Amino acid sequence: MIKIFYFSGTGNSFWSAKKIGQGVGGDYELINIGDEAQKSEIIVEADAVVFVFPSYAYGLPIIVRRFAKSAVFKTSYLAAFVTFGTSPGGTLGALRRILKKKGIEKMYFGRIPAVENYLAIFGTQKEKKQKRRVSMQEKATEEAVRAVIEKRENKVCTCRVFSAFISRLFSLGVKIFYKSYRVGAHCTGCGVCEKICPVSAIAMKDGKPLFSNKCEHCQGCIDICPLRAIQFGRVKFGSPGYRHPDVTIAELSKTET
């Protein structure tokens, strides 16, 4: 049994996680880190463990860091893949610092380029660039499948001072960013944002989404809202969003996956 843990807001990491599971063959289980990390005790027992998650400001998403630190891994092999739009920075090195204390015999770390989806800074990428990045993701994911099948091993640099600094600043910001989300009057209360939130940070109240401090700032709610009714920073109401073209809302919904 291979257990594949993913964290995904707009489907990039979920898509690669699913393709890795299908590609390696045999029994596999897709598990949302957002759910798993909130358990009081996390014991992961498997023939092999795979992580797939995005880089946030050159570092680990808070929920991924918490999961990696809290979990007890009963496996001899672990592979971790970071999806990224601009640069993964020191993300994999930060994860390796945590995992090397876990007693795992063999580890592999890989990068998977994907569409940049942090709209608050980069906006929505042009269609041509999105298609090129999706193609790059497909090829890198195929290589990830081969790496897992062959149980490759490697090491990554664990000392990236600039990346660690930027990641730390972002993590501090995440603790208050949820207060800056705004919901437009044209919101119909469909509840899609609540269903796709990977960490259950959104609850519907009086027909409108209410954001909590559990928010990881994945921006999935902004990107996937059917009416573009959620605003943050430069992302205005009606701004075009992004969802991986081969991932459905049902797949991202916590009631379906």
Comparing C-alpha atoms, which of 209, 177, 181 is closest to residue 196? 209
13 vs 21: CA distance, rounded Å: 12
Q: So what's the pLDDT on residue 254?
A: 63
Per-residue pLDDT band at 257 (split at 50, 70, 90): very low
Enter the tokens of residue 173.
Answer: 């910001």
Res 189: pLDDT: 96
What 68-71 contacts at long range (C-beta under 8 Å, 24+ apart), as own/partner pairs, is 68/95, 68/98, 68/99, 69/98, 70/37, 70/42, 71/36, 71/42, 71/43, 71/44, 71/102
Cα-based distances in Å from 126 to 113, 121, 135, 212: 16, 15, 14, 32
Average the pLDDT over 20-31 and give the result.
Answer: 95
Which tens digit of pLDDT belongs to each residue from 134-190?
999 999 999 999 999 999 999 998 888 899 999 999 999 999 999 999 999 999 999
252 phi, psi to nearest 5 deg = -80, -20
- At 229, phi and psi to the nearest 5? -100, 10
As its CATH architecture, domain 2-161 has 3-Layer(aba) Sandwich (3.40)
Residue 119 banded pLDDT, cuts 50, 70, 90:
confident
Q: How many CB atoms lie within 10 A of CB 111?
A: 18
- Say how far apart CA 129 and CA 120 lie, in whole Å: 18
Which residue matches tokens 């998650």?
Answer: 53
Average pLDDT over residues 7-19: 97
Please report how many Cα atoms fall inside a 13 Å half-sphere around the Cα of residue 199, on the Cβ side. Answer: 23
Residue range 87-97: average pLDDT?
96
pLDDT tens readout for residues 200-211: 999 999 999 999
Separation between Cα atoms, residue 22 and residue 231, nearest integer Å: 36
Reply yes or no on whether the pLDDT at 236 is more than 70.
Answer: yes
CA–CA dist 72, 150 (Å, integer)? 24
Residue 256 has pLDDT above 70, yes or no: no
Q: Which CATH architecture has domain 176-252?
A: 2-Layer Sandwich (3.30)
Share of the chain above pLDDT 70, in %: 98
Q: What is the model's pTM? A: 0.94
185 token code pair: 């009057």
Q: Are 45 and 74 a contacting pair, CB within 8 Å?
A: yes
Decide if 2-161 and 176-252 have a common fold.
no
Average pLDDT along the chain: 94
Domain residue spans of the chain: 2-161, 176-252
Residues 248/10, Cβ–Cβ less than 8 Å: no
What single DSSP character describes residue 10?
S
Is pLDDT above 70 for 221? yes
CA distances (Å), origin 78, targets 92, 111, 126, 149, 187: 13, 15, 35, 12, 42
